[in-house]
């Protein structure tokens, strides 16, 4: 095996990292993991405070998921899903249809969340051309400022984070925009009035509304007021606009329900899933459509109503086996009934002292997802100038102390694997607190 020094050299020379300014990148190469810990090529250990970017649900190297993947590797590592199924992907489709609310019964696979959103956007557009009463004018999307749906061009177009998306606007299709439905700026009625105003005026041109239900993740874990999502469902129905729920962050127990939509009794027309679906082991994503949406794509091949879209590795059997094993563990280990409520409470309790910190302005929590927002002055609520990058420096310092965190601007995400122990959580919070003290003094 290559030495740590060789690997570091190659990493710096040849590896262009996602969302990373390479001119300031300090090589960090992970060699193995166990439970909530990542171990680098120097043998240094880091507590994984953000579930390897919000996807490692049950802890690294869960024995049951590993066994399922190994078993599948020995049978069928890959087969296309163009015109054929494979055993784990068929089983997963049935299970997802059973778990998803209402008549969300038709599962379309991809390998990354962005591609699940991309598929949903194209399905929505095509649906209006092929549904029982076609509406060819419905060619636009409605989306939110500060939304994040991935980094392909379509998902970038419906994104609304200026720092990531503004540069690419000339490449992207036009999207009608709403301000973020932030609970701090208004209640459900206030935000729903804004939605209804735009729907009244533009519904005839809108194919679909895309939303991150209950919270905007990459915006900084920004929470929506109770009742908002339910109102969104009512209004999109009233104005004949499809509802695409991007649950790539919120899906699979993170918020306290299997899917966040369930908190408000909502069935969207399409549900996008990714991240935790394989508990962070293999790339997989899914777009689940209702029977009604799906029906619009059935017909004589020569009419062109087929969904001509797909990815080579979509529905990969090993990834699907990992997803089935993840669902097995969620069920057998009573994750929704016991682990999630307990961790929700443990996180709230462990982070409560930080509420009083002079440089913490807000702690936002939904289930096992937490954002700790830094501020310059607690009394006035003033934020730091973004270019000072306090969030970045706090996380860098925490990493130096053995707790790996990654910020969203000046919001520090705390979203460990659900298997985190009391001692590990205590370590996470104490290193986070010390890092805030040191950077924000």
Ligand X SMILES: *Cc1c(COP(=O)(O)O)cnc(C)c1O
Please report, as ranges, the residues that interact with ligand X according to CB under 6 A: 112-114, 117, 148-150, 212, 217-218, 246, 248-249, 274-275
For ligand X, give the closer residue by CB, 212 or 264: 212
**Which is nearest to 147 in space by CA: 268, 55, 49, 245?**
245
Q: Which residues contact 401 (CB under 8 A, 6 or more apart)?
A: 431, 434, 435
The reply to whether 402 sits in an annotated binding site is: no
- Is 114 annotated to bind a ligand? Reply is yes
Answer yes or no: is 246 a known binding residue: yes
Is 110 annotated in a binding site? The answer is no
Q: Work out the end-to-end distance of the chain between its first and last CA atoms, rounded to an integer number of angstroms.
A: 44
Q: Where are the alpha helices (DSSP H) in 333-403?
A: 340-351, 390-400
Shortest Cβ 103–ligand X spacing (Å): 23
Residue 251 Cβ vs ligand X, minimum distance, rounded to whole Å: 9
148 marked ligand binding residue: yes
Q: Is 113 annotated as a binding residue?
A: yes
CA distance 97 to 90: 11
Q: Which residue number is nearest to ligand X in terms of Cβ?
A: 113
Which of 254/397 has CB closer to ligand X? Answer: 254
Closest contact distance (angstroms) between CB of 108 and ligand X is: 15
Residue 186's alpha-carbon distances to 190, 194, 210, in angstroms, are 6, 11, 20
Closer Cβ to ligand X, 297 or 313, answer by number: 313
Per DSSP, the residues of 165-229 read HGGGGGGS--EEEE----TTT--HHHHHHHHHHHHHHHGGGEEEEEE-SSEETTTTSEEPPTTHH
Q: Closer CB to ligand X, residue 416 or residue 431?
A: 416
d(CA 108, CA 96): 11
User: Which is closer to ligand X, CB of 218 or CB of 425?
Assistant: 218
Residue number, 147 or 439, with CB nearest to ligand X: 147
Q: What are phi and psi of 144, to 5 degrees?
A: -105, 145
- Give the number of other CB atoms < 10 A from CB of residue 154: 21
Shortest spacing between CB 312 and ligand X, in angstroms: 16
307 within 8 A of 126, measured Cβ to Cβ = yes
Cα 157 to Cα 165: distance, rounded to the nearest angstrom: 8
Q: In the bound complex, what is the minimum distance in angstroms from residue 158's beta carbon to ligand X? A: 10
Beta carbon nearer to ligand X, 360 or 413: 413
- Least Å distance, CB 275 to ligand X, is 6
Residue 228's nearest CA partner among 196, 274, 256, 198 is 196
Q: What is the DSSP letter of 384?
A: P
Separation CA 169–CA 163 (nearest Å)? 12
**Nearest CA among 214, 180, 110, 89 for reference residue 152:** 110
The residue whose two tokens read 């939904």 is 366
Q: Which residues on adjacent β-strands are paired with residue 271?
A: 245, 288
Q: Is 311 labelled a binding residue?
A: yes
Backbone angles phi, psi at 408, to 5 degrees: -120, 95
Closest contact distance (angstroms) between CB of 246 and ligand X is: 5
Smallest distance from the beta carbon of 50 to ligand X, in angstroms? 12
**Considering beta carbons, is residue 7 or 154 the nearer one to ligand X?**
154
Binding region for substrate: 148, 275, 310, 406
Annotated binding-site residues read: 113-114, 148, 246, 275, 310-312, 406
Binding residues for pyridoxal 5'-phosphate: 113-114, 246, 311-312
């Amino acid at each position: 095996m290559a030495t740590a020094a060789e690997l570091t050299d190659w990493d710096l020379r040849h590896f262009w990292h996602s969302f990373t300014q390479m001119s300031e990148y300090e090589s960090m190469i992970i060699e193995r993991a166990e439970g909530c810990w990542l171990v680098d090529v120097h043998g240094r250990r880091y507590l994984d405070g953000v579930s390897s970017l919000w996807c490692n649900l049950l802890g690294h190297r869960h024995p049951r998921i590993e066994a399922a993947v190994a078993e599948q590797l020995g049978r069928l590592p890959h087969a296309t899903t163009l015109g054929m199924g494979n055993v784990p992907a068929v089983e997963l489709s049935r299970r997802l249809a059973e778990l998803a609310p209402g008549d969300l019964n038709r599962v379309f696979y991809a390998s990354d969340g962005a591609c699940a959103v991309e598929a949903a956007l194209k399905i929505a557009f095509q649906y209006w051309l092929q549904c029982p009463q076609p509406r060819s004018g419905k060619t636009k999307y409605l989306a939110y400022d500060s939304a994040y749906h991935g980094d392909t061009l379509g998902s970038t177009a419906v994104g609304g984070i200026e720092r990531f998306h503004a540069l690419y606007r000339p490449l992207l299709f036009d999207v009608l925009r709403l301000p973020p439905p932030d609970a701090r700026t208004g209640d459900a009625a206030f935000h729903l009035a804004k939605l209804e105003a735009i729907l009244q005026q533009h519904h005839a041109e809108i194919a679909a509304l895309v939303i991150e239900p209950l919270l905007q993740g990459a915006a900084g874990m920004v929470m929506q007021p109770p009742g908002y999502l339910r109102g969104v469902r009512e209004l999109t129905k009233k104005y004949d606009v499809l509802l695409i729920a991007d649950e790539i962050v919120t899906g699979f127990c993170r918020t306290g329900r299997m899917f966040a939509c369930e908190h408000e009794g909502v069935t969207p027309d399409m549900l996008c899933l990714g991240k935790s679906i394989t508990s962070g082991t293999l790339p997989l994503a899914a777009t689940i459509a209702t029977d009604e949406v799906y029906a619009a794509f059935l017909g004589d091949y020569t009419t062109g109503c087929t969904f001509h879209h797909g990815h080579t590795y979509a529905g990969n059997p090993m990834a699907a086996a990992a997803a089935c094993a993840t669902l097995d563990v969620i069920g057998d280990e009573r994750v929704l009934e016991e682990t999630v409520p307990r961790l929700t409470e443990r996180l709230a309790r462990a982070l409560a002292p930080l509420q009083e910190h002079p440089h913490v302005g807000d702690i936002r929590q939904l289930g096992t997802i937490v954002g700790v927002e830094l501020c310059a002055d607690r009394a006035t609520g003033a934020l730091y100038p973004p270019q000072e990058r306090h969030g970045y420096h706090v996380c860098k310092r925490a990493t130096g102390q053995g707790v790996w965190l990654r910020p969203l601007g000046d919001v520090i995400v705390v979203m460990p694997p659900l298997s985190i122990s009391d001692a590990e959580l205590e370590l996470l919070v104490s290193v986070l607190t010390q890092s805030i003290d040191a950077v924000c003094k």
